[in-house]
Chains A and B, each alone.
Chain A
Amino acid sequence: MSRRRIGVAAVVVAAIAFALLVSAQGLWQSWLSALFPKQPIVLMPRDTLAAFVLQHLVLVAVSSALTIAVGVPLGIFVTRRSGAEFRALVVAATDLGQTFPPVAVLALAMPLLGFGFWPTVMALFIYGMFPVVSGTIAGIESVPRAVLDAAEGMGMSPMQVLARVELPLAARVILSGVRTSVAINIGTATVGAAIGTGGLGVPIIGGLAVQNMAYVLEGAIPAALLAVLADAALAQVEVAVTVPEAAAGA
């Protein structure tokens, strides 16, 4: 049993434990009541905890999927000869974009796109692009020139070089961009509750508004666990896609 397998197994077990934990409505009811005895209602009545978690996951999954589907090809495009003239522009835009606070970007989505699920998805998607695009560019450009020359010398077509040499060698750096992007999305999606998207931010913001600390914990604990879990899972994917030789060289 390699260390890698143990890591994957640990993440799977943790994910199952998390799913069970957030479905156990009665458990939360009893321990939050024990913690806040004066509070008559300790769980937000609007939805079950499992439903909040699910809304959160859907929001993050849809926006991150869009981010990857657009961001990775964009990063690849500007490292090709045909897209080289846009490289400087895209790099500058992603550098600048990453300095924008995600909360501000989310807030700006409202006047431009409106309230609800899709505007939030759009904001998360656009903001999540920055680390994915810059990770893709950095990953592909980290492939040594000599390796590319060797691949071309073996008679590979540009598509083959991309698919069999550049992307496998760049995979780790691309994925670390994806990981950053997903972490930001999970965090920013919490704030999305303020513009009516549901998710784990609802009990946090709602609880702070009515001074019910039990609601706050009902949202904050699963949100923190979810973020740490997602990060650990993506770290495992990162390890899994790393080409062994590249890892040895790094």
Chain B
Amino acid sequence: MGAMVALAGATALPFVELRANRLVPGAAHSVAAAGPWAYLLWLLVGVGFLSAVAPTEKARAASSTASGYGLVVALAWGIGHAASTLLVGQPSAARVSLGAGVWVLLAGTAILGFSGGVERRRKLVRWAGPLVLTALAIAAAFAWGGLDRISLAREFAVRASSFWTLLGGHLAMAGTGLGFGLALGVPLGLWATRNRHVRSVVLGVTGVIQTVPSLALLGLLIAPLAALSQAVPALRALGVRGIGATPGLIALTLYALLPIVRNTYVGLAEVDPAVIDAGRGMGMSSWQLLWRVEFPLALPLIIEGVRTASVLLIGITTLTVFAGARNLGILVFEGLGQFAPDLILLGALPIIALAVVADVALSALGRALTPEGVRA
């Protein structure tokens, strides 16, 4: 199936677009623009098809994995070739952007890689090799293959310095919101295990907050904060303003609460009472029980809540630019405002990548922190 998707991407859809400048729509070019690389792409799609009919499981996995990695590399060089040949003799404002075909090909590649079992190899060592080789091949395409001439890369080059600042701003904002969420959420979750009324109020309120659209919550925070900072000059001196980082940070903290509180509560509540009894029998005080028995056992679930919260916050941080914060959301919404597709991509792709990396990293951390005795 992956091969079929890839085939559609490699033949039916436009591969790249040549545009007079970064804003106007352009002329579509088929995969033939990739020159010699087009043949390699077709060949690799063919290898992908072989994976469906290969006689053994091992051969199937090998051919789809090989065609998956191969396609990524061939794509990088093919796009580079297309960009450098199409731009010959064009004015400097001309841009070459990726067409729908490239995205469909990438989707097909992902499916091929998946059926090749990339995801089943939990051990990093086993797929680090091909991954590093693929990354090197793509880096080489940037350096010598003309990949640096596509519109997305040029958009990046123009904004290289501000890009890193905005990326840093994004991480700082989401990270701070997550930190506040943890500082508030874990104690609240703990309190919820000790008191039934607290539990229903805290879980109810955080649940309602979670339903409120993030842009609406930001709006609801900005108006009163603006009024408050007008009324209390001392707050203004502290940097509390209707517009700026404050409303964004409050919103992020509030959104982080539900997953963290809920998972802390569930994690602590699910600790086997027999284990607690055993601890007490050993003469542990209730603080010792909490620190040395209950929290370690609840930790994997708490980390799971942190994972959910961080993926959520990385997305919502994008919206805080409406309240005057500076992060990758600026690129996204400036791009939307200017009708500049590649600027949108320059903002949105790193945001997606951050979310996926946070997801993978925190899942791994959760697994690593699971006490050995209770590992599934």
Check if A103 sits within 8 Å of B219, measured CB to CB.
no
A92 beta carbon closer than 8 Å to chain B: yes
Check if B219 sits within 8 Å of A191, measured CB to CB.
no
Stretch at the interface among A64-72, A142-150, A220-228: A220-228
28 residue pairs of the A-B complex, CB under 8 angstroms, read A86-B1, A89-B111, A89-B114, A92-B114, A99-B355, A101-B314, A101-B315, A101-B318, A103-B318, A104-B315, A108-B345, A110-B335, A183-B211, A187-B212, A187-B216, A190-B214, A191-B215, A191-B319, A194-B333, A201-B215, A204-B322, A205-B322, A213-B222, A213-B226, A217-B219, A221-B220, A223-B213, A228-B211
**Chain B residues, CB < 8 A from A211:** 243
Q: How big is the B interface, by class?
A: 35 or more
Check if A190 sits within 8 Å of B213, measured CB to CB.
yes
A9 beta carbon closer than 8 Å to chain B: no
- Nearest B residue to A217 via CB reads B223
Interface contacts (Cβ under 8 Å), in number, total: 133
Interface residues of A in 188-235 (CB under 8 A from B): 188, 190-191, 194-195, 200-201, 204-205, 207-208, 211, 213, 216-217, 219-221, 223-224, 227-228, 231
**Chain B residues, CB < 8 A from A31:** none
Check if A99 sits within 8 Å of B336, measured CB to CB.
no
**Chain A residues, CB < 8 A from B344:** 107-108, 110-111
Taken together as a complex, chains A and B put the C-alpha atoms of A103 and B347 apart, in Å, by 11
Bitwise interface map of A from 71 to 95 toward B, beta carbon under 8 Å scored 1, else 0: 0000000000000001011001000
A175 beta carbon closer than 8 Å to chain B: no
Check if A207 sits within 8 Å of B219, measured CB to CB.
yes
**Chain B residues, CB < 8 A from A223:** 212-213, 215-216, 219
A112 beta carbon closer than 8 Å to chain B: yes
A118 beta carbon closer than 8 Å to chain B: no
A124 beta carbon closer than 8 Å to chain B: no
Q: Is the interface of B mostly helix, strand, loop or mixed?
A: helix
Number of interface residues of A (CB under 8 A): 43
**Chain A residues, CB < 8 A from B329:** 103
Taken together as a complex, chains A and B put the C-alpha atoms of A191 and B219 apart, in Å, by 12
**Chain B residues, CB < 8 A from A107:** 332, 335-336, 344, 347-348
Check if A213 sits within 8 Å of B336, measured CB to CB.
no
Interface residues of B in 216-234 (CB under 8 A from A): 216-220, 222-223, 226
**Chain A residues, CB < 8 A from B218:** 204, 220
Cβ distance B305 to chain A, nearest Cβ, rounded Å: 15
Check if A216 sits within 8 Å of B222, measured CB to CB.
yes
Check if A100 sits within 8 Å of B223, measured CB to CB.
no
**Chain B residues, CB < 8 A from A108:** 344-345, 348
Interface residues of A in 169-187 (CB under 8 A from B): 183, 186-187
B323 beta carbon closer than 8 Å to chain A: yes
B119 beta carbon closer than 8 Å to chain A: yes
Known interface pairs A107-B348, A205-B322, A223-B213; 16 further A-B residue pairs with C-beta atoms within 8 A, sorted by A's residue number: A89-B114, A101-B315, A101-B316, A104-B348, A104-B351, A108-B344, A108-B345, A110-B336, A112-B100, A187-B214, A187-B216, A216-B222, A217-B220, A217-B223, A224-B216, A228-B208
